Every structure is written in structure tokens, then in C-alpha cells.
Structure 1
Amino acid sequence: MIEETPKIPQATSKRLPLYYRFLQNFSNAGKKRVSSSELSEAMKIDAATIRRDFSHFGALGRKGYGYDVQYLVNFFRQTLDQDEETDVALIGVGSLGNAFLKYNFQKNHNTRIVVAFDPKAPNEGKEMSGIPVFHPELLEEKIKEYGVELAILAVPSRSAQEMTDQLISMGIKGILNFTPVRLAAPESVRIHTIDLSVELQTLIYFIKTDEKDSQL
């Protein structure tokens, strides 16, 4: 997980996994060094933003040379703790949850769903996409058994806060929330909310704004 400090802005922290992914792509393609302009073109992020983000970590590159690709891959791997696997619990196996199970994250980085919960699952559990799925009645038992500290929340809005309270009481430290509910939690628990409807509305807004600007 990303260790945020007061020196690293939250916006920069959120871009670190993207830098790591694109730098891995450059490394896999055999590229030895890369400039901020090349990263900018590949990632569609302003080059000045990339240089500013990197400056928070000291001298990662050299003027006139650019950045050593393998050095940056190693640096961001260590910064993001990519050498250590993180197990995740999935709460809710509806359409979205089922998509998560089929994708799973370990294919692309160091996180993986190891256990899931859904009201339609039998108490003895069942397997979906190679992942054991249990009824929520076994939540506390299985969270302890699998030792997970992170959860993906993909449940109906009406049960989101109640489920969050349960997870927190069981020692969960981070929740990736895919419900539109703004969840209440103590400061010691990190919650990231991804509201797909809001993201879509934001996209539509920007498209319409771009169309209006092009007509001026």
C-alpha cells in the first residue's frame, strides 16, 4: 500500500501506481531511459506534473539524460510495496463483484482477492472463479482465517454502512467503496469511494464542455 506523508500530495500518491504500470511497460519493451515528455505522451499527463510529482522523491533523473527506466521501476516497486502481496476480501458478488472475481488483481500487480461474501452463498461456501465465496454470517470467522485487512465493498446502498461497521469491528484497515454512500469511519480506517454514476456524469459534463468550447 502507498505510505502517504505530509510531504507527498494526495493527487501525487494516486498517480504512483500509474507511473509504475507505464514504466513497467517501457521496461518490458526494452527501453533503458525515458524523458518526462515521453511519459507524458504515453500517460496523457502533463510533463510538468510528472516532473513535479517525481521531485517529491528527490533527484530521480538527470537533466539532459531523463530517467533510468529500471531504476524507476525498482524505486516505485519499493515505494508501493510491490514485492509484498496484499490479500483482499470482496463483499458482495453481484454483477460488479462477479466481474472483480473474474478479473482478480494479482494478474496485474500484487493484490489479490482471496475470499468473498454474498447472501446467496451457502454457509459451507462455494467457489467462483477459483475464489471461495461464503455467506456473510461467516464474515468474522473467515476474515480472521484469511487474515485480510483490506476489503472491496460492492453491496446494495442500504447495507453499505452496516457492513462497513462490521468490517471495522473486525480489524479491516482499508475499504474500496463501490457504493454511492459516503461511509462513516474512524480516522484510523482509510476509505476510498468510487461512485461510477458520478464518474460517468463527470465524463459527460467534460464532453459537453469541450463541445461548447470548440464552438466558440
Structure 2
Amino acid sequence: MKIEQQQIPHATAKRLPMYYRFLENLYASGKERVSSTELSEAVKVDSATIRRDFSYFGALGKKGYGYNVLYLLSFFRKALDQDELTKVVLIGVGNLGTALLKYNFTKNNNIMITSAFDTDEAMVGEEIGGVEVFHLDELKERLDDSVSAAILAVPVQAAQSVADLLAETNTRGILNFTPERLDVPDDMRVHHIDLSVELQSLIYFLKHDHETN
């Protein structure tokens, strides 16, 4: 079944990997079926939202029965292209970039960081977490059609120039860890992860919740 991703709301699409990870754990534990209430308690998303998310993909469950774990797992594996390896590159091997390479968050997913790039000559030629670091000047010649996305962990003043460089390659997605809001071509997607904004938001809600309790 082909999923028309453009018809799926952005918020729903962002929750799919979370559902998939939980279903993997359920399947590994030997569980054969799960209810939306059980899913809700596990992933901390209300059951009405889960049912609405799943409804975009047709009839995935049965009333009174719940959802077949193996069927859901197989379905979302296909929807998320889990059977295909996705290659990404990391640009910026400072403290954050090094931590990302050492943590190796891609190990249990279908994602592989194939190479890293930096302008620091002391880093060039090093291997961190099994990934070799090249000079940024080599980016265009080393990226081929198999690399679909880049992780951007450079200083904020370099973010736009690196994005411009990526726009000249076949890379179509950027996971941006800098606070810079990037200007990219229409066919390139950027997901922003601003840690300071997320922390400030958390502190705001902690304070707000405290004042209303």
C-alpha cells in the first residue's frame, strides 16, 4: 500500500517513529495485540489522537479487538521505509557533533551517518564513532545521490553558508541544530532543533503549571 505522505498532517507524521519504536518493543516482548488505551499510556499521547492518527491510513484495527501488533509493525515499517537504509552526513564536529557521533543514535534505526565534515584541520582525518571526518571543502565531491539528508551542528554564523553549499548537492533535508532560520530552496526541507528554545519552553511550562496548581 502506498502512503500519500502529503495528505498526512505534519504532527501525525512526527509521531509515527514513536509509534513504530513502541510496537517494536511490544513485538519483541511477544505481545500480539494492543489497544489504543495501552498505546496512549505507553507513548503519552491521548487515545483519541492515536485513533485519529491511525485513521489517516485506513482501517488498521477492529473495534473491540484493538490492533494487531505484527500488522501495525509491518505497516509502519513500510510507511517509514524501515527496510531501506538512509544515509546522512554530519557537518560540524564540535562538542555537539562529536557527542552525536559517539552516542551513535542511528545504531538501532535504518539511518547511517556515513561521513562527517568540519573546517578544523585538527579534526580532519580523525575517526569518531566509526565515522571519518573530512574537510568541509570536500563536501560537494564526497556527497553522492545516496545521501539524502545532513545534520547541521556548526556555529550559527556558518549555518547559512553551509546550507547554501548543501543546496548545491543532491541533499534534500537538513536537521538544523543551530538557532539560525535557514533560507533554502523550496524543494529542501529543514527541521529545526533549537535546544535553548526547547529548554526555555520547558521552563515556561514548568512555571505555568506550578502557578495553576
User: If the TM-score is normalised by the length of the shorter chain, which range does it land in?
Assistant: over 0.9
1:18 match: 18
The residue that corresponds to 1:102 in the other structure is 102
Deviation (angstroms), 1:7: 2.3
Instruction: Please name the residue that 2:133 is paired with.
Output: 133
Q: Deviations over 1:126-161 (max 9, x none)?
A: 2122111011111111113x8412100000000100
State the Cα deviation string for residues 145-178 of structure 1 (Å, max 9, x = none). x841210000000010000000111221000000
How many residues end up aligned between the 2 structures? Answer: 211
Residue identity (%): 59
For residues 64 and 197 of structure 2, what CA distance do their matches in structure 1 show?
A: 42
> Is the contact made by 2:35 and 2:65 (CA closer than 8 Å) also made in structure 1?
yes
State the Cα distance separating 1:202 from its structure 2 match: 0.6
How far apart in 2 are the matches of 1:104 and 1:142?
21
Q: For residues 139 and 37 of structure 2, what CA distance do their matches in structure 1 show?
A: 48
**Equivalent in the alignment of 1:5:** 5
**What secondary structure does 2:5 align onto?**
coil
The root-mean-square deviation of aligned C-alpha atoms, in Å, is 1.6
| Contact 1:160–1:179 under 8 Å retained in 2 | yes
Normalized against structure 2, the TM-score is what? 0.95
Judge conservation of contact 2:179–2:194 (CA < 8 Å) in 1.
yes
Q: Distance in 1 between matches of 2:162 and 2:88?
A: 15
The residue identity in structure 1 corresponding to 2:111 is: T
Structure 2 counterpart of 1:60, one-letter code: L
Partner of 2:169: 170
User: Amino acid of the residue matched to residue 99 of structure 2?
Assistant: A
1:154 aligned to 2:170? no
The structure-2 alpha-carbon separation of the partners of 1:208 and 1:122, relative to structure 1 and needing over 3 Å to count, comes to: closer
Question: Could you give the per-residue CA deviations for residues 23-76 of structure 1, whole angstroms, max 9, x where no partner exists?
Answer: 111111111000000000001110100000000100000000000001000000
Partner residue, 1:35: 35
Match for residue 45 of structure 1? 45
1:68 maps to which residue?
68
1:169 maps to a residue whose letter is: E
Query: Aligned to 1:150, what secondary structure does the other structure show?
Result: strand
Query: Contact between 1:115 and 1:132, CA under 8 Å: does it hold in 2?
Result: yes
Deviation at 1:112, TM superposition (A): 1.1
For 2:107, what is the secondary structure of its paired residue? coil
The residue identity in structure 2 corresponding to 1:156 is P
CA distance in 2, matches of 1:147, 1:62: 39
Could you tell me which residue of structure 1 aligns to residue 210 of structure 2?
A: 211
Q: Which runs of 5+ in 1 are unaligned?
A: none
Tell me the residue number matched to 1:186.
Answer: 185
* Structural mapping, 1:101-120, within 5 Å: 101-120=101-120
- Cα 1:124–1:212, aligned 2, differ >3 Å: closer, same or farther? closer
Secondary structure of the structure 1 residue equivalent to 2:143: helix
Unaligned residue ranges in structure 2 (runs of 5+): none
